[in-house]
């Protein structure tokens, strides 16, 4: 569990560092605007930009999984394929090429235990609505890795429909970390827009 705390602290420092850099940039702009008459007339009046953007926040609603190796999941009692849970997805940066994001969440896993995760990831944008990439996640559940918190790379593909994002992920079979491969499916609902 201490690894989870370290990742959360690192995530908080990253977000605070980004906010400080943004404030430094807006301060430099305001300083230069005082010497430029054109910039003064176009200067926006209102509260300073916040480091937190509501449009960058999504609610993840976890839901379903599918295990291709049906016999093994039944034998190991890992056949729970209804996986309710909630999480938050925050886009740290969004460019033409892709998005960098952070996630935190919890869901009922294939062994019917509570799985908790914290992740940092990147997805490339392709076509108009597709994103593909992955996340480096810290995961804790009694079902995986004998109940010991571990670090995993998780591939992720997203189809952005605007008001809802459809997500699919793959959890490969990895020795005692994850004894049975699984596909996971969930939706993300943007708070903003």
pTM score = 0.73
Q: For 63-76, what is the mean pLDDT? A: 92
The helix/strand/coil state of 127 is coil
Q: What are phi and psi of 30, to 5 degrees?
A: -65, -40
The helix/strand/coil state of 18 is helix
Q: For 163-188, what is the mean pLDDT? A: 91
Q: For 145-156, what is the mean pLDDT? A: 92
Q: For 84-106, what is the mean pLDDT? A: 96
Instruction: Tell me: pLDDT of 177 over 60.
Output: yes
CA angle centred on 178, ends 176 and 182, rounded to 5° = 155
């Amino acid at each position: 569990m201490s690894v989870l705390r370290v990742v959360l602290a690192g995530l908080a420092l990253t977000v605070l560092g980004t906010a400080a850099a943004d404030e430094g940039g807006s301060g430099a702009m305001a300083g230069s605007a005082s010497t430029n008459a054109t910039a003064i007339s176009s200067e926006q009046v209102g509260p300073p930009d916040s480091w937190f953007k509501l449009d960058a926040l999504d609610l993840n609603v976890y839901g379903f999984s599918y295990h291709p190796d049906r016999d093994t999941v039944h034998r190991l009692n890992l056949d729970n394929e209804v996986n309710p849970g909630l999480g938050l997805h925050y886009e740290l940066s969004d460019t033409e090429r892709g998005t960098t994001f952070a996630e935190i969440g919890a869901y009922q896993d294939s062994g019917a235990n509570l799985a908790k995760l914290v992740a940092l990831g990147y997805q490339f944008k392709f076509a108009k609505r597709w994103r593909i990439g992955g996340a480096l996640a810290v995961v804790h559940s009694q079902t995986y890795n004998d109940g010991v918190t571990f670090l995993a790379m998780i591939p992720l593909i997203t189809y952005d429909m605007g008001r809802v994002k459809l997500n699919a992920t793959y959890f490969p079979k990895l020795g005692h970390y994850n004894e049975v491969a699984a596909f996971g499916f969930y939706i993300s609902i943007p708070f903003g827009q």
